[in-house]
Amino acid sequence: MPSLTRDEAVARADLLSVTRMDVALDLDRGPQTFHSLTRIHLTATGDGDTFVDVKPRELHRASLDGVDLDVGLLAEGRLPLAVTAGEHVVEVEATMAYSHDGEGLHRATDPADGEDYVFSHLFLDAAPAVFACIDQPDVKAPYAVSVKAPADWHVIGNGSGEIGDGGVWQLAETKPLSTYFVALCAGPYVSVTDEHDGIALGMWARRSLADQLQEHAPEMLEVTRRSFDYFHSIFGIRYPFDDYDQVFVPEFNAGAMENPGCVVIRDSYLFRGAVGRDELLTRANTISHEMAHMWFGDLVSPQWWDDLWLNESFAEYMAHRCLVEATEYTEAWVDSTMSRKSWGYGAERAPSTHPVAGSPAPDAKSALANFDGISYAKGAAVIRQLIEFIGDEAFLEGIRQYLGDHSFGNGTLADFLGAMERSSGTQLSEWSRGWLLTAGVDTIAVDRAGSVTREAPADHPADRPHAFDIATYTEGAQTSRQALTLDADSAPLTGLDLDAALVLPNAGDLTWATPLLDEASLAALPTELPLITDAQARAVVWVGLRDAVALARVDPRLLVDLGEAALPTETNDSIFSRAGMHLTGRVVRVLLPEDEQDAARARLTRVGEQVLASAEPGSSMALHAARLVARTTDDVEGRLVPWSQGRDLPSGLDGDADFRWILLGQLTRRGVIGAAEIDEALARDQTMSGQLGALTARAAIPTEQAKADAWADLTTNRERSNYELIAIAAGFWGPQDLTLVEPYVARYFGDVPPMTAWLGEDALSRVASMAYPSRFVSAETLELSRAALAGDLQQGVRRSIVDQQSELEEALASRRAFPQAG
């Protein structure tokens, strides 16, 4: 099916404007399909040929101003339309199919009670699978939506809803929206409601999660209220839409989606067991991020997909700023360093790196490929650099100008920069060229002879001015600190203690760069890092080393040494949990040679045990330590078996089903338990989370038959949801004896790409990434991967394989640079 090109979008927008959308949906027609009736009220500037977007199971009829159109002309989601100058009404009636891949109108069954739940996710071009439309971001219109639903269902949408005659819900007409923001959630959802500053607030979840919703709603509503107050104070424009509902839905592909007035959030955020502070922070960040989108993305939308950064970079930045300045999560920038910036740096290292803004997006699908850590994390870092460049007061004034000038319309990079130039009196074309329009991450290093240098990647030369700081430490104490702006390839340093044990560039993490530590600083880290009290500096060390190891500049064994030395005294949840996950999931599992992995894993187990013994029982840190032990220990009889049976559990983990599935997965991959024990555990946890845990555990069973069954389930079962497929992939490659899954390395490249025949691009790209045989670090795997990329692949799968192959190449380079001793 063709993806809308930018040229087509420009031509269609020149010809047509949509003045109103009437959408009537009937969801009471069974679990497979629903009925869709759309009236598109449009105005044509002249005579011309164009098309309406619609992707039906069956197209029943279509008309233009009451005259039937030939529905047989529908081809690849496009219905031809010939218009004359003036106003018209297009009416389209169709039967649509529910999806199970998280796109369009997704329908899921809750195994806890057998109830069905529906939610829409229309980004990037899935709207035509729900209703006929002119599907492009710069064609906005008010929406009047009605929905017929089963009698016990509740319907939530962009506008507040009321149920009328015949069980039909009428949703209030919206402000002008881009098609991809139209939202609909329906099912026996339960709610917690509130009101703040004249705005009705609602939080919704599946009926089986009513207890979790009640437990977590007070904290989430407090973040919601504080975010509203903060954004009202800095944007100068009140929340511009209807009620504010946040709906926690099952099997959602992303973290959340910023539909105006109806934010959709993955319901795994309604934690059902023990939860760490960093996880609560992540959820709070998501809530604030999606609210920031009400202004950046919803009130002012990108004119075309190459300006997605105007949505995501700003929501990313504003959410962290809001958490720090308006909530209890004042450590949000530390969490950003550990979780978000590390994601973005990984995207920069990949061959698919791209500029923050202005990336070529000749069609919608190509833009989707750039929806990554660069658009989010790097974009947020660039905004921090912009503020250093023009000042915060000018930045906020520019924001208010931009939002005010383009309310309920669309904006571009030029519009945004124009507002910033007017507010600051500063010309930004050169700054923009280096930071927004050129890809790549610079390295920053300090020469102890007295200079600091920057170096842009050879493939992406750029002149980026960096505003940052350098700090020095001896015995954990800061001995000097200097803020500077580096706008040349090198500059002299004065006033810094360059004889200190550790010299740390970008210690405050103000800029986007890889800090390269000198040999003396690297040697001092095992002693210095545990003593540094500045959590932000510690996070910079961990993420900088993550980048340096990936670039084969630093031996991965140093990270294991640091884990053993520094994590036992770490006090920040985000640093402990993220560093621990990186060590176990990447450094030990992939970068170290196979015969060193068990010993390194045992060292991390001792770290977990040490922290578990010393942390306050039931604390967030104790929880993360217990999870680290569960992921790494070989103590089957002393830890895995009794904990899985609910015996001798750390405080706070009694009855934690999710923790139990971690343990059962570890026992399964070792062959200690099998299908019977998994079925028994699932019988006690008949929930969506339990179902996913069981799929992962079953895929980990280390027998030839179990692997064959899991692979067939993964690659041929068209009834599996996106979440179920990822769960299977998560357990498949885990056996201690890798020869058991070695035959599937080649099969991955032959069996996964064809899944595009039934799985949406976004969902399949996630499955392709999770299923990639990353544990097989060999030239043979690389050869198979390169051969696959030489063929014809769907764009999303290609991007996933390109990025995973890049990580494979990093692992091979690391092993060559730092071979096993002896």
> What letter would DSSP give residue 782?
H
Report yes or no: 654 and 647 within 8 Å, Cβ to Cβ: no
**Rounded to an integer, what distance in angstroms lies between the CA atom of residue 605 and that of residue 582?**
14
The amino acid that residue 160 corresponds to is S
Report yes or no: 494 and 504 within 8 Å, Cβ to Cβ: no
CA nearest 137: which of 125, 119, 145, 120? Answer: 125
Q: How many CB atoms lie within 10 A of CB 142?
A: 18
CA nearest 755: which of 727, 784, 720? Answer: 720
> Which residues on adjacent β-strands are paired with residue 504?
471
> What letter would DSSP give residue 508?
T
Q: Is 472 helix (H, G, I), strand (E, B) or coil?
A: strand
CA nearest 592: which of 539, 632, 549, 548? Answer: 549
Report yes or no: 146 and 170 within 8 Å, Cβ to Cβ: yes
For residue 275, what are the CA distances in angstroms to 591, 607, 622, 625, 806?
A: 30, 20, 11, 12, 33
CA nearest 772: which of 763, 782, 759, 762? Answer: 782
Task: State the DSSP string of 654-672.
Answer: TT-HHHHHHHHHHHHHTTS
> What letter would DSSP give residue 265?
E
The amino acid that residue 208 corresponds to is S
> What letter would DSSP give residue 235?
H
* Catalytic option among 93, 103, 258, 290: 290
End-to-end CA distance of the chain: 55
**Rounded to an integer, what distance in angstroms lies between the CA atom of residue 360 and that of residue 305?**
9
**Rounded to an integer, what distance in angstroms lies between the CA atom of residue 805 and that of residue 759?**
22
CA nearest 197: which of 232, 154, 173? Answer: 232
Query: Tokens standing for 412?
Result: 């571009």
If DSSP states are collapsed to H, E and C, what string results for 280-299? HHHHHHHHHHHHHHCCECCC
For residue 482, what are the CA distances in angstroms to 204, 409, 504, 770?
A: 49, 43, 11, 42
Task: Determine if residue 317 is left, alpha or beta; phi over 0 gives left, psi from -120 to 50 gives alpha, anything else beta.
Answer: alpha
**Rounded to an integer, what distance in angstroms lies between the CA atom of residue 463 and that of residue 433?**
8
Q: Is 412 helix (H, G, I), strand (E, B) or coil?
A: coil
> What letter would DSSP give residue 819?
P
Report yes or no: 120 and 182 within 8 Å, Cβ to Cβ: yes
**Rounded to an integer, what distance in angstroms lies between the CA atom of residue 311 and that of residue 278?**
24
| Residue that the structure tokens 């190449």 belong to | 809
CA nearest 774: which of 819, 734, 737? Answer: 734
Per the annotation, the verdict on 290 as an active-site residue is: yes
Query: Tokens standing for 19?
Result: 């003045």
Burial of 758 (0-12, 13-18, 19+ CB in 10 A): middle
- List, by residue number, the catalytic residues: 290
